[in-house]
Chain A
Amino acid sequence: MADRSRGLPRLRDDLSRLRGSLRVPWGRSAAGDDPYWEAFINRPAADRRNTIPEIVGKAPEGNIFPTQSELHSPNVTSSHVKELAAYLRADLCGIVDLSKQDPEVARGYPFAIVTAVRAEYDPYTSPGVGGQTAVQTGQYVTFILAAWIREMGFRGTMKIETSREERERLAIAAGLGKRNGDGRFTAPKYGTKVHITDPIFTDLPMEVDG
């Protein structure tokens, strides 16, 4: 039997491509009647200091609180992490056991929290201010999550540079999705329209996902 879990996202991708090609020339465009939308999505910022990814991306991280908070058991802590991520409007959240990953990826941390947000426009192909909105939304989630972990007295950082390939591998290890036939990351509910945020590397004891 065919791999059904891969079937639906691929079908969704195909349908989305089909919808694009079948759009009637006199119909409303995706941007509606907005004459400025195209530039908003695709024109790169003249001064990157005007964009949130630059402002938050360059923000230094705070200290770890000297006293560790009393924790629940790891399964409950995991559920709290996911609850907070969803509250902060992350669409997907998973926890990876880094001891099973390449040490170069783990960087000395036992766990990574991987979150993803829906991305109407792919930040890698849409360099405009609007095209980077998914990065901005993701930074909001990861910044607060990492700050909360540090305030609980544990290590938690989103400042470790990871490539897109590494992030996708961690997201797959966290059970957030799979690669489709084109080799692109797809999530069961959102297809390829997701942006995987910077993972949070932490030593907060949690139950990992598979």
Chain B
Amino acid sequence: MAQTIERMNSPEARKPEVTARTAPTGRTVVDERVLTTRARQAKKANSTAVYESHQSQTEVGSPLVAPDGTLRMVPDMGRSVRVVGTVVNVDVNDGPHPKNIRGELGKAMNHWYTKTIAKDALMRATDNSHSADKRNFLSTYTNAANKGSVNKQQTEVKDPKAMAAHIKRVAKHFGADLVGIAATNPAFMYAGGSRYVQDGTANDVYLKMTPDELAKRFPFVIQATVAWDHDTLQAHRHHVGDLSYHHSSMRAAMVLKALEGYIKELGYTAIRGAVNPQGAGLAAGLGELGRNGMMITERFGARVHMPDPILTDMPLFADGPIDIGVSDFCNICRKCASNCPTNSITFGPKIVYNGIEKYKINWLTCYKIRPFVSDHYISCLTCIAVCPFTKPDAWWRRVGGKLLKTTPIKARPPVVRALKWIDDKVWGEFPKRRVRFMGYDTGLQVGEHACTNSECTAEHSMPKKIVEGNVGFYAPVKKQTDNFVKRG
């Protein structure tokens, strides 16, 4: 059953059914009353750690309660994403990969995804869908359903704040670069009965719960991630860029798997595969959603992968969303849109999709480039690499970020224009950097195979080549993608 989450001041919430709570002016007073009550109770509790349902109204007819009696809560995901209407929970099987596996995106796509293996050895060892033997891919094991049991000797949590700080410290000890905790909300859960576990072996009593039931059972969601290496990411649309992405996703999967196991060791339940990673990341304050559809973080920009978060019943203290100015920047910048090889990123404003106001990318055109370019790279990553937020975590980057963050919202546009101008001048409107890593060299043209290592004395079947200059050559994207993308 589709779950509905409605914004309290949305038109639906002002329907005359709630006349008992409607002021003579036509505005609903219940919203303010509920908000005031919840704010007061949260202040009294000195936290946002209390599950919101305990604070919301329980009478049928309230905008916070669905006609069938289930609770509706409006998640706060910051300025970049707003819930403005009815949200239908997404079935995890409606994502690009499951659709492709079922053959719904065409034979060519299905063949590429399910029946081809990468020509490059490093890609075979680090990419799940194009490995020759999945046992050579680490996440085959770290993404599998956890087989461990919950410790019967539960560790008592006297102070949820201290436990939240401990969990974050543990995640960082395991190797996470970013970690946040959000109060669970049914809005960012997958539709009931669908669980994203790659080996398909998740078989627990929670599998058939609806998002509302899961949110009541598990009040907190923990999201942690590992940043991509900036230097190798500069070889976007190249196997080296792929490695940057795959390395971070494999490592993040391992960190979360370890954290999931540790929570069970503390005597609490932890399940995965039930929560939309981006929704959880936004609510946990890891970053904001950019025009490129990626999470943009304060320290690492867009070079983070949002892995599958942990849903838990451990008493914790939730973080809130953050405002680092992504919404204001993306409103003006459009650098990712102008560099996108498939025109999948909009130049226009945010739109409302599935009740959520956000920048919506065309995932289908973004996805469909892959079989055409699979000899050269697997994931494009251009929108991430060119994003002005994606820079090394250096002092000058932090100064720029701080400047934007501390500027009042109305005064941000001129600051954004100045920062964008600097970015274009220093890094280029289309950044091209030559990256040499493990014998790969982006100085070579696409399709060209040669050894550029001067120390190598091996007799290669391909000719040795000396590449002049320090500017990377990148795939002529327009030629590649004109095959299947119509340009306006």
Contact = CB atoms under 8 A, between A and B. Distances in A.
Interface of A: 32-37, 39-40, 45-52, 55-56, 59-63, 65, 69-73, 75-76, 80, 83-84, 87-89, 120, 129-130, 133, 136-137, 140, 143-144, 147-148, 150-153
Contacts of B455: 73, 75-76
A36 B124 CA distance: 40
B353 interface: no
Nearest to B149: A47
A34 B458 contact: no
Contacts of B174: 133, 136
Contact of A52 (B142, B265, B438, B439): B142
Contacts of A55: 141-142, 144, 257
Interface stretch (B54-62, B247-255, B298-306): B247-255
16 contacts: A37-B169, A40-B262, A48-B148, A49-B146, A52-B261, A56-B138, A65-B124, A65-B133, A70-B461, A72-B456, A75-B455, A76-B456, A83-B437, A144-B125, A150-B125, A151-B124
Contacts of A61: 135-136
Nearest to B462: A70
A201 B170 CA distance: 32
Contact of B254 (A34, A62, A75, A136): A136
Given A73-B458, A83-B437, A152 B134 contact: no
B124 A46 contact: no
Contacts of A72: 439, 451, 453, 456, 458, 460
A76 B453 contact: yes
Contacts of B147: 49
Interface of B: 121-122, 124-126, 131-138, 140-142, 144, 146-149, 151-153, 155, 162-163, 165-166, 169-170, 173-175, 229, 232, 243, 247, 250-251, 254, 257-258, 260-262, 264-266, 437-439, 451, 453, 455-458, 460-462
Contact of A133 (B173, B260, B461): B173
Nearest to B134: A62
Contacts of A65: 121, 124, 132-133
A96 B171 CA distance: 34
Given A51-B258, A136-B174, A140-B254, A34 B165 contact: yes
Contacts of B451: 72
B170 A40 contact: yes
Contacts of A83: 437-438
Contacts of A32: 169
Contacts, number: 157
Contacts of B155: 36, 39
A125 B442 CA distance: 46
A136 B135 contact: no
A71 B439 CA distance: 10
Contacts of B254: 52, 136, 140
Given A83-B438, A129-B258, A76 B134 contact: no
Contacts of A33: 162
A23 to B, nearest CB: 20
A36 B167 CA distance: 9
A121 to B, nearest CB: 9
B125 A151 contact: yes
Nearest to B258: A52
A36 B156 CA distance: 10
Given A36-B266, A72-B460, A136-B174, 7 more contacts: A37-B166, A49-B148, A50-B264, A62-B136, A75-B455, A88-B247, A144-B125
A76 B458 contact: yes
B136 A69 contact: no
A136 B175 CA distance: 10
Q: Which of B266, B458, B462 has the most CB of A within 10 A?
A: B458
Contacts of B257: 52, 55
Contacts of A144: 125-126, 138, 250
A204 B260 CA distance: 36
A16 B250 CA distance: 34
A47 B264 contact: yes
Nearest to B137: A147
Given A49-B146, A55-B257, A148-B122, A60 B162 contact: no
Q: Which of A32, A37, A144 has the most CB of B within 10 A?
A: A144
B329 to A, nearest CB: 30
Contacts of B262: 40, 50, 129
A84 B438 contact: yes
Given A72-B453, A140-B254, A56 B261 contact: no
Contact of A148 (B125, B140, B151, B250): B125
Contact of A35 (B126, B134, B152, B162): B162
